[in-house]
Structure 1
Amino acid sequence: MPTLPPEQPGPPEPHRARRTAESFGADARRYDEARPSYPAGLVARIVAGSPGTDVLDVGCGTGIAARQFQEAGCTVLGVEPDARMAGLARTRGLPVEVASFEEWDAAGRTFDAVTAAQSWHWVDPAVGAAKAARVLRPGGRLAVFGHVFEPPAEVAEAFAAALRRAAPDSPFSGQPARRPLEAYRAGYAKTADQVRATGRFHEPEQWQFDWERPYTRDEWLNLLPTTGGLTRLDPGPLTAVLSAVGDAVDALGGGFTMRYTTLATSAVRAGAA
């Protein structure tokens, strides 16, 4: 299977693929339950490197990352284009305004940090970094981050083959079973170039956090339907893909340990207000 959900940087101009971008709310509760949180060290580094605790979370989804910043003592506002995702986030205590970041009206508000967890690739690159600079206070931090993960080869290859059989017309069916970490680092380097081009930030930094998480068969099959390659599949093809992947996990003894890498591009807003 792809080394991370296909909504990560990789497909050309993913911000234009709006049907996929707005498909994750079809099962918002599963998304919130199955998607992993972010390394505590990443959250701590962003908080420590920001001038205050007012955070704007772009594409907040169900609030997975936002809740971690709240637990770290921050006041967080979410912006999310999918009303279904926003609705669940609100039930978990996160204030959310429903809009794409490009169209969102800051109404004069500014923040100490702008974060984007697994979401920045859905933002128009011609707009995103410049708008982040406008809503950040001087010295405020932009932090764009997301997970890369590599399931065992047996699981990855079973996923890729099943997706090709079940959904040959899917734009994700032609992707290789596994992609090197360098391909994802290149995506974050491109984000750094976009931030640099605004002339409004100090030199961007690239961060990396490596960690592991065990998965049972059921836990992995619960997460897979929340990924961009599967959110729009009809029930029949989806069942076929999950069955093939489940068989592969069973062959490994019913579970495996996932090696995660969380990558980030971060930069500090330069200049006066």
Structure 2
Amino acid sequence: MPTLPREQPESSPAQPHDVRRMAESFGVDAQRYDQARPGYPDTLISRIVAASPGPDVLDVGCGTGIAARQFQAAGRTVLGIEPDARMADFARARGLRVEVATFEAWQPAGRTFDAVVAAQSWHWVDPVAGVVKAARVLRPGGLLAIFGHAYEPPVEVAEPFAAAYRLAAPGSPLNGQPARRPLDFYQAGYAKFADKIRETGQFNAPEQWQFDWEQSYTRDQWLDLLPTTGGLTQLRPDQLVRILDAVGSAIDSLGGRFTMNYTTLATTAVRATAS
């Protein structure tokens, strides 16, 4: 499938953090989003916890709380920031404290944290203002961790998706994207995050982390996940049906299931202590 904006770490011609309508479209079916979207590798969560000087975590763009619940399970105290009130309500119903705001507009009111994390959400944040604000709310020695999944289904699934998307939504700017993208495309996006962090002069040298894993999907599981991706959340029902029918047929031809190879990438940096 084409890499849709929710999974896309780099800036496209329309800067993702400026595309507020799409950024706040994922709450259209928060329950589906929460059930279908994959969590994050336990090794990533453990590494962030180990690198943080204390238990207080700020989750930027927390969505329904997928990553936040993993941090809570690891013994952390989490506050979520989420611009979509529907997603925030879903997360609150599952025990997460959430304040509704964009990260840029959110008022910390003097609060500081041991870690600021952004799970598949940092590309919706202004790349300059976001890093400056993260530095402002992090305690010295605190960790900024920006992470997300790079995933491309097999070509047998990706190509029918791209063809069906072109037919169903011919005016979409996403139609210029290739059906699949190499890992170094995603890595370049996370390298750009690191560049913005360096430019502030308020962090130690950023690190790049990588976690490879895989997950098997049945036809129904994948078709449940697809409508939660950025390019599909705003389509008309008839457009969505055409795309899902094409992808479903492609998965049927593979025996009704396929294995997704995931890579979870992270850019992390420690807030510099005062000299």
> Where does residue 180 of structure 1 map in the other structure?
182
Q: Distance in 2 between matches of 1:5 and 1:268?
A: 30
What CA deviation, in whole Å up to 9, does each residue of 1:185-232 have, x standing for no partner? 010000000000000000000000000000000000000000011010
Residue 150 of structure 1 and its aligned partner are, at CA, apart by 1.7
Q: What is the alpha-carbon distance in structure 2 between the residues aligned to residue 47 and residue 98 of structure 1?
A: 25
> 2: distance between equivalents of 1:126 and 1:266?
16
- What do you get for the CA RMSD once the two structures are aligned? 1.0
SS across alignment from 2:21: helix
Provide structure 1 residue ranges, at least 5 long, that are not aligned to the other structure. Answer: none
Aligned to 1:9: 9
Report if the CA contact (8 A) 1:117-1:146 is conserved.
yes
**Unaligned 5+ runs, structure 2:** none
Question: Kindly, what percent of the aligned residue pairs are identical?
Answer: 72
Partner in structure 1 of residue 171 of structure 2: 169
Deviation at 1:272, TM superposition (A): 2.7
Q: Which amino acid aligns with 1:9?
A: P
Alignment correspondent of 2:135:
133
The answer to whether the 8 A contact 1:112-1:136 is kept is yes
2:64 aligns with one of 39, 62, 65: 62
Partner secondary structure for residue 173 of structure 1: helix
* Matching residue within 136, 139, 149 for 1:147: 149
Letter in 1 for 2:33: Y
Query: Structure 1, residues 118-138: CA drift from partner, whole Å, max 9, x if none?
Result: 000000112000100000000
Distance 2:120 2:272 in 1: 25
Partner of 1:75: 77
SS in 2 for 1:66: helix
On the 8 A contact 1:164/1:174 being kept in 2, the answer is no
Q: Which runs of 4+ in 1 moved over 4 A?
A: none
- Once residues 93 and 121 of structure 2 are traced to their aligned partners in structure 1, the CA distance between those partners, rounded to angstroms, is 21
Deviation (angstroms), 1:271: 2.1
Does residue 26 of structure 1 match 2:25?
A: no
Q: What is the rounded CA distance, in whole Å, between the counterparts of 2:4 and 2:267 in structure 1?
A: 19
Q: CA contact under 8 A between 2:5 and 2:16: conserved in structure 1?
A: no
Which whole-Å CA distance do the structure 1 matches of 2:70 and 2:261 have between them? 21
Deviation at 1:113, TM superposition (A): 0.1
Query: 2:5 is aligned with what amino acid?
Result: P
Q: 1:9 offset after TM fit, Å?
A: 1.6
- Asked if structure 1 preserves the Cα contact closer than 8 Å seen for 2:4 and 2:174, the reply is no
CA distance in 2 between partners of 1:33 and 1:5 (Å): 19
* Equivalence for 2:223: 221
CA contact (8 A) 1:166 1:241 kept: yes
Instruction: Provide the C-alpha distance between the structure 2 equivalents of 1:265 and 1:257, rounded to a whole number of angstroms.
Output: 26
Q: How far did residue 116 of structure 1 move?
A: 0.1
Query: How far apart, CA to CA, are the structure 2 residues paired with 1:99 and 1:168?
Result: 33
- Distance between the aligned counterparts of 1:177 and 1:232, measured in 2? 20
Give the letter for the 1:55 counterpart: V
Instruction: Give SS of 1:79's match.
Output: strand
Q: What SS does structure 2 have at the residue aligned with 1:151?
A: coil
Letter in 1 for 2:196: Q
Q: Aligned partners of 1:229 and 1:172: how far apart in 2?
A: 7
Distance 1:5 1:34, change over 3 A: farther
CA distance in 1, matches of 2:119, 2:49: 15
Is residue 100 from structure 1 mapped to residue 99 from structure 2 by the alignment? Answer: no
Show CA shifts across 1:27-77 (max 9, x none): 111000000000000000000001001000000000000000000000000
Query: Is residue 2:234 matched to residue 1:235?
Result: no
